[in-house]
Chain A
Amino acid sequence: MNLLFQLLVNGLIVGALYGVVAMSFVLIYKASRIVNFAQGEFLLIGAWACWWLLTHWQLPFYIGFPITLAFMMIFGVVLQVVVLRPMIGEPIISVIMVTIGLSIFFQALMKWMFGVFAKPFPAIFASPTVNVFGLDVQTVYVVSLVISILIMAGFGWFFKFSRMGLAMRATAFDQQVAQSLGISVRQVFAMSWAISAMVSAVAGVVVGVVNGVSSALSFFGIKVFPAVILGGLDSVVGAVVGGLIVGLLENMAHYVDSQWLNFGNMYEIAPFYVLIAILMVKPYGLFGTKDIERV
């Protein structure tokens, strides 16, 4: 029973991280109608950048981490301006393929620069585990849950009350009308990529601290898809819900697997089965907008 509870907590924490990454994915999709297959590589690049600053330059975490975030912001903007801007107005397959190309490129680049083996982060917290309700939970997990919730709240505030967030929602709703009301759509696009890259990097650093940094991080980018699809592609709330569902589902599958099935990798594959099943019933996900199309 204790194992089940531990897995539930784990699922919630990992799910919250998935939710954060899914949210940054949805942010790009909502603003610029681009499906970013390189989302996982954002995690990877952010984590490696932070790792490099902390180990190579021996910076303390509270300095290295903001530098990483600033770098990721610039990286996101540059990527949008250089690669994605020429793709505006191209068919969906081309845009998808460009982000896939980016994903392959960055993944290989990271392997080339930092090697294929996982590298551990230097210790960041004073004590590796803390006691929560009689359970030993890694400090990183607690912190990551807090960070996730903060980011989600931040997103909520950003979209509801800040000028930029309003501009983004307007752009997502109708690009042409937004433009005619004086919103700089270019700025919105660049901004959405910057924020998305930054938030993903936070998740990347957290996962890196837990498991060490390696190319396996980019699998997060793939795991985000079930989360996003479950929630519906253009729903920020849906992304969070979907992330939590996928996180819990993984851990529950792991539990079932370890107790009865002994498949060994149910953990990895269960979300995809559920994804297919959900799509059979609801082709637009749980919270996605249904397109009403007219000729």
Chain B
Amino acid sequence: MTTTSMIPCGDFKTRYATDTTIFPTATSRNFAILGIVLLAVAPAFLDRYWLNLLIQIGYLGIAALGLNILVGFTGQISIGHSAFFGFGAFASAWINNRFGIPVALAIPLAGVLTTAVGMIFGVPAARLKGLYLAIATLAAQYILQDFFARANWFTGGVAGTIAEPFSLFGFVFDTDGRYFYVVLFYMVVMYLLATNLMRTRDGRALVAVRDHYLSAEMMGINLTKYRTMSFGISAFYAGIGGALYAHYLQFVSVEGFTILFSIQFLGMIIIGGLGSIMGSLMGTAFMVLLPELMQASTDLLSGTAVDRMLNLKDSIAFLREMAIGVVIILFLVFEPDGLAHRWKQIKAYWKLYPFSH
């Protein structure tokens, strides 16, 4: 059926393979390829400001996808994701600085190390449900934050740590335009991995655990294994994202990985859509662009009566936090299925126009 550009009305699929295909039509595949090609030539046309935003969306999007696998696909609430993101950042810098392993190898190794830490916190999590779990991950957040501040050998303590730029065969990716490709490569690979994971037996088991864990257990799904596994996978993604962040900024400080950052990750996947791969990316884009939009509107309003009334220059940081809170609440009340779902509806509308279904 993949030869036609439109799916005919009704369900004519006769094999599972066609049902679980990534690209149901040739057009959708071509659009995805076009998107990647457009991104690949982007550095030639965009200035540093936009590249910086795209890179941010890239590494945060990878980490957000990890959280979505844990929360959206497996139904395990985690409020400690930024701590794992931070751990990945420190781990990559540490592996590179301490053992002299090149950055290109340090990034995946940092992912593996973060997976191990995620598994450690995943073991108690395997016994906990719903809210008790959320609070255990909250404890993980604080314990890891405390560890960052204390472990001088690993994080450089209060002073932070230097991370070397990414280089491959002597070619150094130290400008935004160059590093963009590193992030793009990782993003495409990680998103493909996640998409394919959800098409395997293991991925479906995760969804079964989310939907009804008791039934899942009766059907022979090993709950402990899959819960711990989903923690591990989520930590792996967070670690890779964090490592990319470290080598982009080339400096990691212990301050940034707070509970607010964790909540922002949760905000990303809620806005994008729980249990949606592309939704993670959309939500991340939304979350990254929202403060920029606010900054732009602040610049626009500077000197006007509104500016004088609200004292925008000094209060922008607070307004930004307030906006994050408000956006999360509004999305949950008015658009609980997230942006990905809305996007599907828009696509369906265009496809079916002038009919309703």
A residues with a Cβ closer than 8 A to B are: 35, 83, 86-87, 90, 92-94, 96-98, 100-109, 111-112, 222, 225-226, 228-229, 233, 263, 265, 268-269, 272-273, 275-276, 279-280, 283-285, 291, 293, 295
Query: A107-B321, A112-B318 in contact; A268/B332 too (CB < 8 A)?
Result: no
Take A97-B328, A269-B146 as given contacts and tell me if A279 and B132 are in contact as well, using a CB distance cutoff of 8 Å.
yes
Apart from A92-B130, A101-B332, A273-B143, list 15 A-B contacts with CB within 8 A: A90-B336, A93-B71, A100-B328, A107-B321, A222-B259, A226-B135, A268-B142, A269-B143, A272-B139, A276-B139, A279-B127, A279-B132, A279-B136, A280-B127, A295-B215
- B333 and A276 contacting across the interface, CB-CB below 8 Å: no
**Could you say which of A90, A222, A280 contacts B124, with CB atoms under 8 Å apart?**
A280
Cβ–Cβ contact B270 & A97, under 8 A: yes
- Are B333 and A86 neighbours in the complex by a CB distance under 8 Å? yes
0/1 interface trace, chain B 110-145, chain A, CB 8 Å (1 if under) = 000000000000001001111110111011101100
**Which 9 pairs from chain A and chain B are nearest by CB?**
A105-B325, A108-B321, A104-B325, A101-B328, A112-B318, A272-B139, A101-B329, A108-B322, A108-B318
B243 interface hit (Cβ, 8 Å)? no
Cα(A108)–Cα(B315), bound, Å: 10
Q: Which residues of A contact B22 (CB under 8 A)?
A: none
Contact of B162 with A by CB under 8 A: no
Q: Are A93 and B136 in contact, CB atoms less than 8 angstroms apart?
A: no
Which of chain B's residues have a CB closer than 8 A to the CB of A111? Answer: 318, 321
Inter-chain contacts of A225 with B (CB < 8 A)? 135, 138-139
- In the assembled complex, the CB of B338 is this many whole angstroms from the nearest CB of chain A, namely 11
User: Could you give 20 example pairs across A and B, Cβ below 8 Å?
Assistant: A96-B134, A98-B333, A100-B328, A101-B332, A104-B260, A104-B321, A104-B324, A107-B321, A108-B322, A112-B319, A222-B259, A269-B143, A273-B139, A275-B135, A276-B136, A280-B124, A283-B127, A283-B129, A293-B214, A295-B214
Q: Do A283 and B328 have beta carbons less than 8 Å apart?
A: no
Option from A97, A269, A279, A291 in Cβ contact (under 8 Å) with B332: A97
**A233 touching B132 by the CB < 8 A rule?**
yes
Q: Which residues of A contact B244 (CB under 8 A)?
A: none
Contact of B132 among A106, A229, A272 (CB under 8 A): A229
Cα distance A228–B134 when bound, in Å?
13
Q: Is the CB of B138 within 8 A of A105?
A: no
Q: Is B89 an interface residue (CB 8 A)?
A: no
B17 on the interface (CB 8 Å rule)? Answer: no
* Cβ-defined contact, A283 with B132, below 8 A: yes
What's the Cα separation between A259 and B329 when bound, in Å? 46
Across-interface contacts of A222 in B (CB, < 8 A):
138, 142, 259
Cα separation A112 to B138 with both chains bound (whole Å): 26
In Å, the complex CA distance between A268 and B140 comes to 13
Question: Roughly how many angstroms separate A273 CA and B214 CA in the complex, as a whole number?
Answer: 30
Interface residues of A, dominant DSSP: helix
CB proximity of B296 to chain A, nearest CB, Å? 20
Cross-interface CB contact of A265 among B139, B146, B325, B332, cutoff 8 Å? B146
Annotate B259-276 by CB proximity to A: 1 below 8 A, 0 otherwise.
Answer: 110010011001000100
Residues from chain A with a CB closer than 8 A to the CB of B142 are: 222, 268-269, 272
B128:A279 contact, CB within 8 angstroms: yes
B145 to chain A, nearest CB (A): 9
CB neighbours of A103 from chain B (8 A): 325
Partner of A87 from B132, B135, B212, B332 at Cβ < 8 Å: B332
Say how far A78's CB is from chain B's closest CB, in angstroms: 14
Interface check B351, CB cutoff 8 A: no
Residues of B within 8 A of A90 (CB): 332, 336
**A277 — nearest CB in chain B belongs to which residue?**
B124
Known: A96-B77, A272-B142. A104 touches B263 (CB 8 A): yes
Question: Which B residues touch A101, using CB under 8 A?
Answer: 267, 324-329, 332
Complex contact B128–A283 (CB within 8 A): yes
A101 to B324, CA, bound (A): 7
Q: How far is the CA of A291 from the CA of B130 in the complex (A)?
A: 12
Q: Which residues of B contact A291 (CB under 8 A)?
A: 129
Residues of chain B within 8 A (CB-CB) of A35 are 131, 134
How long is the Cα–Cα vector from A173 to B124 in the complex, in angstroms? 28
Write the chain A residue with the least CB distance to B121.
A276
A96–B266 Cα distance when bound, in Å, is 11
- Distance in angstroms from B273 CB to nearest chain A CB is 12
CB distance from B123 to the nearest CB of A (A): 8
Contact of B218 with A295 in the complex, beta carbons under 8 Å = yes
